[in-house]
Amino acid sequence: MVNSSSPESRRRVVVLGTGGTIAGRAASSGDNIGYTAGQVGVADLLGGIEAPEGVLLEAEQVAQLDSKDMSFAIWQQLARRCAHWLAQADVTGVVITHGTDTLEETAFFLHSVLAPSKPVVLTCAMRPATALAPDGPQNVRDAISVAATQGARGVTVVCAGAIHSGIDIQKVHTYRPDAFASGDAGPVGYVEEGEVRLVRSWPEGAASHASKIFLEAEVRWPRIEIVVSHAGASGAVIDALLQSGGADPVRGLVLAATGNGTLHHALEAAALKAQDAGVAIVRATRCANGRILPKAGDALRDAGALTPVKARIALMLELLG
């Protein structure tokens, strides 16, 4: 626990750690890519960070991993811990430290299963904790400022001074500290010297198909795979996936489509055959911006503005429900 001062009436911001680059260590301060993620505990990440006036910081380690290896089980645990802390009357918000690789997926998942009237703020770093100029401490400080802001709510992501909605966030760069964007929607706002400046409304949570996540100790997550449409594509990948069923059959496919949801004709034929066999099929665009605009006669439904990885989560939760 990190205390900014002592009065018992103080509000709390709970910081949940899951590992990632922000908790990474490298052999030298000049190495920003050859590090091992998830090495520094979340309580240590808060060292030297001053809480806003009237706020007490509390740390809890939920996981310690490289976010490329994020699992459904950790998502379930994270959602439950968020729900637990948000239910505490003196907790004003929750911050989650997370790796950047799957941050947009975790944010969208939490957006889909929580409908918080308080803020849940994910944050991250593109440089490890051992870097000459780490970006993690400022991102954590900014995230805490958002979590402590009066009237803040919903699932957001804070990185490089920008506040992104959990539904719009995308990682758009492999290396820059400012690696995230919100597509056509743009950021929710900005954090400037600890103060939040909104440019649009706080996101509203969806909380759809979430009951099993909170009620069942072990969830049997439906298997959903992503298949990319491209020049020269065939239906072989879909055929192979359906034949690989066994004890864990494919229950749904997200097709990462070109442009406005278009598919190579061979891939589309295989997808229609799979749909007729009872597999749930959804098209999502490969494009970084924009949404699929449906047209009359579409035989395969679309995911609108959702990216393929987010469409996979939405379909997984739909089938789970």
Indicate which residues carry an active-site annotation. Answer: 21
Nearest residue to 60 via CA among 24, 10, 14: 14
- Within 10 Å of residue 107's Cβ, how many Cβ atoms? 27
Query: Do residues 219 and 251 make contact, with C-beta atoms less than 8 angstroms apart?
Result: no
